[in-house]
Structure 1
Amino acid sequence: MGAAAHGIRFQRGDGVFLKRTRVSNMTRIEHIDKLMIEDNVYIGHFNLIDSSGGLYIGEGCQVTNYVSLLTHSSHVAIRLYGREYLTRDNHVGYLKKPTRLGKYSFIGPHSVLMPGVELGKGSIVSAYSFVQAGEYPDFAILAGNPARVVGDTREGDAEWLAQNPELHHLYEAWAHD
C-alpha cells in the first residue's frame, strides 16, 4: 500500500492520515511503501525522497527544498560493472541502508543525506551539507562537505527559551522523552 497527498493532509502507506503533515507536490517520493513518516512534518519543494532501503522521518521534522534523502546508491557498483551495469542483477557494491531522521530535526536546502544516516532528534543539517552514513547525536548541528558536527542546538535553544519562558514546557515535552 502506498502513501498519498490529499490537499494539505498526507496519508501514510498504512492508511493513517497525518493531519498536520505537508508534502509539496513538487517532491518526488520513491518506494513510498517503505517510508514511515510521523505527523507535524513539512517537506518542501524539489526534493528526492528515496525510501527503497527504508526511511523514517520523525515527528516535527522539516525538510526544506532541493534535499536528497537517500537509502540506496550505485556510486560504487556503476564503476565496477561499467557498460554491463544495466544487464546484471544483484550488483556487488550496490549500497542499500535505512536512513532515519530524529524528531524535530531540520534539513537545510541543497543537502544530501546518504544511505545509512541516523540523525538524532533536534538536529540541524546546514544548507549545502553532504552527510555520510553514520550515527549523529541528538541536538547535533552538522555542516560541510563532508558534514561534521559543529555545534549543539540546545545552546541556541537555551537563549530562545530564556527570552520566552512560556515555551519551556512545550520544548521539554519532546526534548526529554
Structure 2
Amino acid sequence: MTRFSAWKQPTFNRQNLTQWNWMCQHRKNFKLGKNSDIGAFTYINARFGVEIEADVQIGSHCSIYSHNTIDNTKGKVIIKQGAKIGSHTVILPGVLIGKNALIGAHSLVKNDVKDNAVMAGVPVKEIK
C-alpha cells in the first residue's frame, strides 16, 4: 500500500479551507492533479488560474499567487508533474515550474523554472 492509494480531491468548507487546513480562493480556476500533496496553511489565489499537475508535493505555509495586487501582475501558475516545493515558499503570478523541479524552503519564485532544476533562494537561483 502506498501513501496515496486512497487519494481523493480535497473538500472545501465555506471559508475556502480544505480538511487539511490549506486554502484556495477562486476554486473554479484551480486544478489539482492526482496524488499531489499540499501542506497545511498554504494559501492559493487562483483568480487567473493555478494548475498543479500529478505527483506534486508542496510544503506547509506556502503562498501561490495568480494575481499580485501590489503591482497588479497576473498570470496562470503551472506546477508540472513531480515538482517539489519546500515549505514557506512564495510563487508569484505567471510562473511555470518544470517537471520534477525542486524548490528549496523559504524561496521566492518570480520566473519560470526549467524541468529537473534544483533552485533555492530569494529570488531563486539554480544550485545544481
Rounded to whole Å, the distance in 2 between the matches of 1:112 and 1:54 is 16
- Any residues of structure 2 matched to 1:1-177 within 5 Å, and which? 9-10=8-9, 24-76=19-71, 94-132=72-110, 134-151=111-128
| Cα RMSD for the two superposed structures | 1.8
State, as a whole percentage, how many aligned pairs show the same letter: 25
- Secondary structure of the residue aligned to 1:136 is coil
- Secondary structure of the residue aligned to 1:10 is coil
1:69 shift after superposition: 0.9
* Structure-2 change in CA distance of 1:142 and 1:33 (3 Å): same
Rounded to whole Å, the distance in 1 between the matches of 2:30 and 2:94 is 14
1:9 shift after superposition: 2.1
Runs ≥4 residues deviating over 3 A: none
What TM-score, normalized by structure 2, do the two folds share?
Answer: 0.85
Unaligned runs of 5+ in 2: 1-5, 12-17
> Does structure 2 conserve the Cα–Cα contact (< 8 Å) formed by 1:24 and 1:43?
no
- Secondary structure of the residue aligned to 1:49 is strand
Aligned partner letter, 2:61: Y
1:106 shift after superposition: 0.5
Q: Which protein has greater RCO, CA pairs closer than 8 Å, 6+ apart?
A: 2
* Structure-2 change in CA distance of 1:34 and 1:150 (3 Å): same
What TM-score, normalized by structure 1, do the two folds share?
Answer: 0.62
Aligned partner letter, 1:9: K
Aligned partner letter, 1:147: V
> Does structure 1 conserve the Cα–Cα contact (< 8 Å) formed by 2:9 and 2:32?
no
Q: How many residues align?
A: 117
> Does structure 2 conserve the Cα–Cα contact (< 8 Å) formed by 1:24 and 1:45?
no
* Structure-2 change in CA distance of 1:113 and 1:35 (3 Å): same
Task: Describe the superposition over 1:136-167 as per-residue Cα deviations: whole angstroms up to 9, x where unpaired.
Answer: 2100111000111211xxxxxxxxxxxxxxxx
1:53 shift after superposition: 0.9
Higher fraction of helix? 1
